[in-house]
Amino acid sequence: MLRSDAPPASSFLQRRVATERRAQPEARFADLSRVVQLLQDPISSSLKERQIFILKKVVKRCQRGFLLKDLADICQILNLCAERVTDHPEYPKILCDLLQICGLPFLKEKSSDEMKFCSAAADCLSQMGYLMRVPLPEVRQQICASVISFYSRDKHKPSFDGVCPTHVDYRGLLVERSGLAETLVMSLALMEKQLSVKLRLLQTLQILSRTSEVNCRLMLRAQAAQKICFHMSEREPSGQVLFRSSEILWNLLENGSGEEVTAQLSNTDCIASLKEAFLHQLLNGFRHYDRQLRNDLLVLLSLIASNPSAPLIESGFVKHLTLFVTFPELKSHNPLVRNLKLSFNHEDFEMKKLLLNVIVVLSKDLAALQLFKESRVMLGLMLLIKPRSSEAQSGRRSWTSSQQEELQLQALAALTSLAPLMLDDYMTCQANTCLLLLLDWCLQDDSFSGRGHSFHGTGGRGGKKAQMRYCVRVLRSVVCLDSEPLRQDLCDQGAIGQLLGVLRWFTARPEDEDAVSLEIQIDSQFILSVLCEGDVHRKELFGSDGVEMLIQYLSLDAALIFSGLGHNKLLLSTVDCVWSCVVGGFGTEDAFVAGRGVDLLLQLLQRSPRHMLIALVGTLLELCENPQAVASVQCWRGEGDTSAPQLLLQIWRSEEEDTGVTRDRHGMITDVKRPMVSRHQDESSSSSRDVSAAVRDVSENLRANIYCIFCKLGFERLSGLSAEDLVTLGIIRRYLDFKVGEVLHEVSVELWNEGATPVSSDEEALKSLRRVSEDTAENVRSLQQSIVGRQRQEELQEERLLYKEIGFTHKQREIAAEAWRNYVARTSNYSVLKEFKRLQEERSTGGPDAPSEPALEGPETQDTVSDQ
């Protein structure tokens, strides 16, 4: 008989039921309101042991969390226990146990419980924050631990007995609605003598502010940045207070309002606390962690420096910073830097860059500039931008080559902002000489290869283009100042020749053209324009080499204007350079005209968009003071055999169309009282009373410059003009008279608006001048009508000739068709052929009945006529 090792079915079912009973949690407390009633009843106030027993039972029955529907009662129980912590030694432990359960996810029986009990749950969390008033450290520690646990991700398994925990997103929403973060910030004042609790509270605030914008806003409403900064410099062995405080401030900056954080930190106490913490980390910190924390504090200080009302100078912090900016480039006997040692590691490198950034931010304050002068910041920057020697100093630690390159570029960027503000120090340090030497080094071909890793090193990888870019940018920032000694010093140092060398260097490498290269060329041309403007001697220094360089730039394809790299700016700067460096110098003007520079300007004028026309027409007008340039303009022919007068007339019509001048379809004057007034001029005259709209219109569009060019070219003997061109030319010829009429009209209107009545003689003079202006406009319109009439007659004559030619062509085709029909008849009918033969013989004998010429023609004659 076989024996079975399997247990009986009945025992298996009994064990399974027992297991399920052990796995199933104990029944929850039926009604917590009765517990609240027991605790509040005055009769049971003496039953301490009974109350403690019931509370322990509640803790035991709710080990897996509180139901959402029970939170209102739980909130009352927590408050009652908090009030009685001094009555019995068991109450603090029970309160901590209840708070520990509050750190678990709230439980829901239905999906609708989350919406139904949302307000009660938020009130419960809010009450947890208010329990920080309990002076017991263990209670406060437990509150912080519960908040961290409640706000963290789920670590609990879902229930299987009809309830399930709420989601972490819902819990985060409850924390935000409860205002718990604001309450915890306000409780910081209670933690003066409880360091461990303060650390736990700071950790809690760090977690609450890590991702939530609402919590950060609530914390800032409670002045969190200011309160936390007050205590961050407190001496604490582990350094956790400083670390947690800085992390909270960073969270507030990232997720909250940066302006609000900066405003709260911009007071004397906060700056003093930050200053003390920064100096302690700088002078005493030796770990990697200490250096990172030091740099974080420096970033916070740079943000505070952007607030003009921050008392950084009054606190003495700026004076300390300037010492660190020039270290180790400049030696100092100040105790702060005498024993300071840099490891030249990555953290020290980041601190150096942050210090350079801070002085740029602080340069907006004039008082800070005085401190910079006292600390010789300009000299320190000059030492940083100096090219690194190829001979490494043995036995002395220094920055690596890549770090030196980044510091050099950032120092140049800082000089761009500081040099115009510290011009005296700039000249004292002979910065022009240093920058020109650096520029000369950039043009040399050696083994240097830029890394191009940093923000300022963009476009400089594999060369010195980044250094050249910022060097030229610094020069541009200082030449913009109205300082003739500085400009003269640059010219004496040979800046004009060096800048021409920079332009020549780029024109020889068209394959390397990018946005950075174009920026360098634009800045170089701008510097040349500023240096040479109004100085004949400097224009002679510019010379034929500079003119040749400008002609190369003007020869660029006009299609590059729309490339997006910046060629439009390059062409505009080239035109400006022609205006400043060529016009006014006899030698440079002659060289420019001889090199077909005028032709290139006209060619560019024909292809350029409207926003470039003002500079081009203005430059062309200045060049027309030279007779050779006028001859070049008269001889020029562009695309479609367009002459210069035709091009200028076309631009005039386009300008009038853009400005809204009223003309008829032939371009003639329609209003003889105001023949040249534009729509824009009417709008500006009604909105502004300071300057005459007629006078302002002269400087705001191209018409005045075009009129002046025609005054140089003359209004007669302009060949190749169409009737439309002649109509426009009639208006241009009387441009000045029309402008006088506009001014008189404005005078009359202004007198009328002000209620002033001129004397009889003045009134007669005004009427007479207006009448003369109207008669001039009428005469111009009559001339235009005669031109249009002649054009119409010419068109009619051409039309008649065309119709006559068409009739002659049709007649020839009829003759050819008749000849073909006769030929077909002769070849297809013998009697017709005989008759034709007879008539041909009679014609040969001169008979009167000889056939006409077409009848005698054969197919060869027919082909000839058809060809005609």
pLDDT in tens, 196-218: 999 999 999 999 999 999 999 99
* Cβ(359)–Cβ(322) below 8 Å: yes
* pLDDT score for 158: 58
Structure tokens at 683: 């709008």
The three-class DSSP label of residue 107 is: strand
* pLDDT at res. 684: 61
Task: Tell me the C-alpha distance between 475 and 496, whole Å.
Answer: 12
Question: What residues contact 72, with CB distance under 8 A and at least 6 apart?
Answer: 120, 123, 124
pLDDT of residue 437: 94
Residue 381 has, within 13 A of its CA and on its CB side, a CA count of 33
Average pLDDT in the chain: 85
Left, alpha or beta for 157 (phi > 0: left; psi -120 to 50: alpha)? beta
**156 pLDDT band (50/70/90 cuts)?**
low
pLDDT band at 689 (very low <50, low <70, confident <90, very high): low
Give the pLDDT confidence score for residue 215 in this predicted structure: 94
Best CA proximity match to 713, nearest among 650, 651, 644? 644
Distance CA 620, CA 615 (A): 9
pLDDT attached to residue 350: 93
Residue 429 scores a pLDDT above 90: yes
Tens of pLDDT, residue by residue over 372-385, are 999 999 999 999 99
E strands of 123-171, at which residues?
A: 164-165
Q: Which two tokens stand for residue 263?
A: 């405003």
By the 8 A CB rule, do 390 and 335 touch?
no
Decide: pTM greater than 0.85.
no
What is the reported pLDDT for 575?
Answer: 94
144: which 2 tokens? 């912080």
What integer is the mean pLDDT of 335-348?
85
Q: What is the mean pLDDT of residues 590-601?
A: 93
* Least reliable range by pLDDT among 386-395, 555-564, 713-722: 386-395
Residue pair 242/282 in contact by the 8 Å Cβ criterion: no
What's residue 453's pLDDT?
62
pLDDT at residue 411 above 90? yes
**Percentage above 90 pLDDT, the chain:** 46
- pLDDT for the residue 192: 83
CA distance 366 to 625: 47
The percent of residues in the chain predicted with pLDDT above 70, rounded, is 89
What does the pLDDT look like over 642-658, one tens digit per residue? 999 999 999 999 988 88
Rounded to an integer, the average pLDDT of 414-434 is 95
Model confidence at 592, pLDDT cuts 50, 70, 90, reads very high
* Pair 725, 667: CB distance under 8 Å: no
Spatial contact of 35 and 51, defined as CB atoms under 8 Å apart: no
C-alpha radius of gyration, the chain, whole number: 47
Has residue 23 got a pLDDT over 70? Answer: no
Of 188-197, 339-348, 695-704, the one with minimum mean pLDDT is 695-704
In sequence order, the β-bridge partners of residue 643 are 637
The residue count of the chain comes to 868
Coil vs helix vs strand at 452: coil
Mean pLDDT over 158-166 rounds to 73
- Alpha helix ranges (H) inside 224-376: 224-231, 240-255, 258-265, 268-284, 288-305, 317-325, 335-338, 346-362, 366-374
